[in-house]
Amino acid sequence: MTVLARLDAVTRRFGEVLAVDDVTLDIHSGSILGLLGPNGAGKSTVLTMLQGLRRPSSGTVSLFGGSPGDYRTRQKLGCTPQETALPPTLRVGEVIDFVGRHFEHPLTTAAVADEFGLGEVLKRQTGALSGGQKRRLSVALAFVGQPRLVLLDEPTTGLDVDARRTLWDAVRRQHDRGATVVVTSHYLEEIEALAERVVVMAHGRVIADDTVSAVINQVSLRQVRLVTEHPDRVSGLPGVVARETGDDGATTFYATDSDRLIEELVRSGIPFAGLTVRGATLEEAFLTLTGATDAAASSTQIAQKEMHR
Amino acid sequence: MSTLTPTPAGTAPGTPTRRPTLGSRTGILALTLLHARIILLETFRIPAALIGSLVFPGLSLLFFVVPQRAIADNPEFATQAVIALSVFALMSNSLFSFGLNIAANREQPWDPYLRTLPVPGVSRVLGQICSTGLMGLASILPVIAIGALFTAAEASVLGVLAGIVALGISALPFMFIGISIGYSMSSKAAIAVVQIVMFGLAFAGGLFLPPYLFADWLDTLSKFLPSRQAREFVIWAVQGGELEPWVWIGILAWTAATFALALLLFRRDEGRRYR
């Protein structure tokens, strides 16, 4: 496995905002790497630095051993435009052909169209495409140049389930043909469907870097919220990893298995009221887990996060 | 499903286009031509946009100069009128194509995507200049044709060639003004500002009315404008005679000043976009 791209102690500021905070990351050939995290976690900033669109405030970003800012380095890189950005008066075939001509060994326009289900609309202007077709064209453009590394930023956000699966299938086929893919998403489902390795980002930092199954086990937390006089006793029940006390007197407990927790709660006879259960968001789950060894610390983290909102 | 085989051509079926033969397949020259071609293709897809830049200068000559036989039948005045409207054609093309394209591109996320492709910035800038130059050339052809057919305008072949070179040189300040407008405002504001700048420079620069009809104060003011300087410069290139220092000093000064402004705004825009 060779390293295709590397971020070494990379920090990127936008004025006062710290978008990426001391991130070190290797992207190895042959895998699909999922970059998971809530909006504003710094995923897109990492991608734009790999694309050469932005420079890090400190640290180094290298692509194929060179600088992403040099256009020759990007010969083996594939990126997607936002689907709203496609030039509306150009035909689908013209756009694919135009992009292909930047690369030494492009796929034929017909092959690209076939692979991404665009054969029917090659002659159509991109402004006349449906949302799903535009998205497929945008993703297809990343593969036209037969790149070694492909960066996909939120490739299926806003698509319906069928369109999403079609696109995932196409991406997986391209990966099987040898492309290394980095895909950002804030959907765990998308990462689960595509990726082998997951890097989770929150607040500009990498907070987990593991296999998909390991991360899924970590993040499938549930929130159990209730009012009780004895929060410490509830915390002692099996499966509780963290807790957070709200202003209204209710306490939120984060548990790996909420059903089991409630069974145990009822059996223990601890008095409680106002029980609600819901899934924790990825961000909540991760912020909780990073401080799971110390429930109090994790509560502070969550409180701080709430204050930032 | 078809197998994905790389082809050196990478051409779409049904879009027969010739590969640039100079330089390597993805060399700077090939990429420049590629970008010039796609800009022209996009421009031609909205035919209404072409009318202003391609047809208007020719029509102006036909409606405002040809019926005035005092000018049209005088070889010297007729030639100057043709030159003035050629300068106008190139000026409006430069202002519109740079001003509006850049302003629109800054609002479209397509531009950042293009910057992820393996293409040097110089190819993209040269592509824009080539396409503008071609459009400018296309817009002066009707002016020259109408001038040759319906007026007494005359010039040697060498004079016409020298005139086209001079047009290209004197168009530089207009390109840089267009770039500055494009980087300093939204595309909607740019449309209005480009038109005001264009008509202001055209009228006060003696492109619509010859400067000998100007009041003294307007004539003096006019000599400080790049449009007037361009007019005199091209007339000198075509008809010969003496080149007054204020013409070439003015063109140099405007080129340097507008280039500096364009560069400043370009850099500021990079900073702003990256925030």
Q: Which of A48, A51, A81 sits opposite B110 (nearest CB)?
A: A81
How far is the C-alpha of A236 from the C-alpha of B257, rounded, in Å? 74
Chain B residues in contact with A125 (beta carbon < 8 A) = 45
Chain B residues in contact with A171 (beta carbon < 8 A) = none
CA angle B199, B205, B207 (to 5 degrees): 75
pLDDT, tens digit, for every residue of B38-95? Answer: 989 988 888 777 777 788 889 889 998 899 888 889 998 999 999 999 999 999 989 9
Nearest CA distance, A62 vs chain B (angstrom): 15
Chain B residues in contact with A107 (beta carbon < 8 A) = 4-7, 10
Give the type of residue at B228. R
Is B75:B83 a contact under the CB 8 Å cutoff? no
Chain A residues in contact with B101 (beta carbon < 8 A) = none
Neighbours of A196 (CB within 10 A): 15
For tokens 């092959």, the residue is A111
Nearest CA distance, B60 vs chain A (angstrom): 30
Q: Which of B12, B274, B275 sits opposite A109 (nearest CB)?
A: B12
A287-296, B106-115, B154-163: segment of lowest average pLDDT: A287-296
Domain A220-308 sits in CATH at 3.30.70
Q: Where in chain A is the domain with CATH 3.30.70?
A: 220-308
How far is the C-alpha of A279 from the C-alpha of A301, rounded, in Å? 19
Q: Which of A53, A74, A115 sits opposite B118 (nearest CB)?
A: A74
Give the type of residue at B26. T
Secondary structure of B118-142 in the HEC alphabet?
Answer: CCCHHHHHHHHHHHHHHHHHHHHHH
Mean pLDDT of B249-273: 81
Nearest CA distance, A179 vs chain B (angstrom): 13
Mean pLDDT of A270-298: 66
- B49 contacts chain A (CB < 8 A): no
For chain A, the first-to-last Cα distance in angstroms comes to: 41
Is B135:B55 a contact under the CB 8 Å cutoff? no
Counting Cα atoms < 13 Å in the Cβ hemisphere of A300 gives: 4
Counting Cα atoms < 13 Å in the Cβ hemisphere of A13 gives: 5
Which architecture characterizes domain A3-217 according to CATH? 3-Layer(aba) Sandwich (3.40)
Q: Please say if the pLDDT value at position B162 is more than 90.
A: yes
Q: Please say if the pLDDT value at position A294 is more than 70.
A: no
How far is the C-alpha of A295 from the C-alpha of A232, rounded, in Å? 11
How far is the C-alpha of B153 from the C-alpha of B72, rounded, in Å? 7
Q: Which of B11, B26, B42 sits opposite A102 (nearest CB)?
A: B26
DSSP assignment of chain B equals -----B-SS-PPTT---PPP-SS-TTSHHHHHHHHHHHHHHHHHTSHHHHIIIIIHHHHHIIIIITT-HHHHT-HHHHHHHHHHHHHHHHHHHHHHHHHHHHHHHHHSTHHHHHTTSS--HHHHHHHHHHHHHHHHHHHHHHHHHHHHHHS-----HHHHHHHHHHHHHHTHHHHHHHHHHHHHS-HHHHHHHHHHHHHHHHHHTTSSS-GGGS-HHHHHHHTTSHHHHHHHHHHHHHH-S---HHHHHHHHHHHHHHHHHHHHHHHHHHHHHT-
- Inter-chain CB proximity B26 and A77 less than 8 Å: no
How far is the C-alpha of A103 from the C-alpha of A98, rounded, in Å? 10
Q: How confident is the model at residue B33, as a pLDDT?
A: 93
**Measured CA distances, A102 to A140, B8, B33 (Å):** 15, 12, 11
Q: How confident is the model at residue B16, as a pLDDT?
A: 37
- Inter-chain CB proximity A77 and B119 less than 8 Å: no
Q: What percent of chain A clears pLDDT 70, i.e. is strictly above it? A: 90
Tell which of B113, B119, B125, B131 to mutate to test the A interface (max A CBs under 10 Å): B113
Residues 6+ apart with CB under 8 A from B22: B29, B30
- Inter-chain CB proximity A107 and B8 less than 8 Å: no
Q: Please say if the pLDDT value at position A258 is more than 90.
A: no
Q: What is the CA radius of gyration of chain B?
A: 20
Neighbours of A95 (CB within 10 A): 25
Q: How confident is the model at residue A291, as a pLDDT?
A: 54
- Inter-chain CB proximity B3 and A71 less than 8 Å: no
Q: Please say if the pLDDT value at position A5 is more than 90.
A: yes
Is B11:B17 a contact under the CB 8 Å cutoff? yes
Q: Which of B4, B14, B120 sits opposite A71 (nearest CB)?
A: B120
Interface of B with A in 185-214 (CB under 8 A): none
Size of interface A-B (CB pairs under 8 A): 127
Chain B residues in contact with A97 (beta carbon < 8 A) = 10-12, 15, 17
Chain A residues in contact with B11 (beta carbon < 8 A) = 97, 108-109
Q: Please say if the pLDDT value at position B252 is more than 90.
A: yes
Q: Which of B17, B25, B115 sits opposite A104 (nearest CB)?
A: B25
pLDDT, tens digit, for every residue of A7-44? Answer: 999 999 888 888 999 999 999 998 899 998 877 888 88
For chain A, what's the residue count? 309
Pairing of β A197-202 and β A32-36: parallel
pLDDT tier, A101 (very low <50, low <70, confident <90, very high otherwise): very high
Neighbours of A176 (CB within 10 A): 8
Q: Please say if the pLDDT value at position A124 is more than 50.
A: yes
- Inter-chain CB proximity A101 and B26 less than 8 Å: yes
Nearest CA distance, B201 vs chain A (angstrom): 32
pLDDT, tens digit, for every residue of A207-248? Answer: 888 888 887 777 777 888 888 888 888 888 888 888 888 777
- Inter-chain CB proximity A102 and B119 less than 8 Å: yes
Q: Which of A14, A74, A96 sits opposite B12 (nearest CB)?
A: A96
Chain B residues in contact with A86 (beta carbon < 8 A) = 110
Phi, psi of A59 (to 5 degrees): 90, 180
Phi, psi of A54 (to 5 degrees): -130, 150
Chain A residues in contact with B46 (beta carbon < 8 A) = 89
Instruction: Please indicate whether residue B237 or residue B106 has the higher confidence score (pLDDT).
Output: B237
Q: Where in chain A is the domain with CATH 3.40.50.300?
A: 3-217
- Inter-chain CB proximity A110 and B112 less than 8 Å: no
Q: Which of A72, A85, A177 sits opposite B113 (nearest CB)?
A: A85
pLDDT mean across residues, chain B: 84
Q: How confident is the model at residue B270, as a pLDDT?
A: 53
Q: How confident is the model at residue A90, as a pLDDT?
A: 94
- Inter-chain CB proximity B3 and A111 less than 8 Å: yes
Residue A286 DSSP label = H
Find how far residue A4's CA is from the centre of its chain.
19
| Angle of the B75-107 helix axis to the B187-204 helix axis, nearest 10 | 170
Residue A256 DSSP label = S
**Measured CA distances, B257 to A176, B149, B226, B264 (Å):** 55, 39, 11, 11
Mean pLDDT of A92-101: 95
Q: Which of A53, A84, A109 sits opposite B116 (nearest CB)?
A: A53
Counting Cα atoms < 13 Å in the Cβ hemisphere of B20 gives: 18
Dihedral in degrees, nearest 10, Cα atoms A48, A54, A60, A61: 30
Q: How confident is the model at residue A288, as a pLDDT?
A: 66
Q: Please say if the pLDDT value at position A137 is more than 90.
A: yes
- Inter-chain CB proximity A85 and B109 less than 8 Å: yes
Partnered with residue A150 across adjacent β-strands are: A78, A181
**Chain B nearest-CA residue for A173:** B4
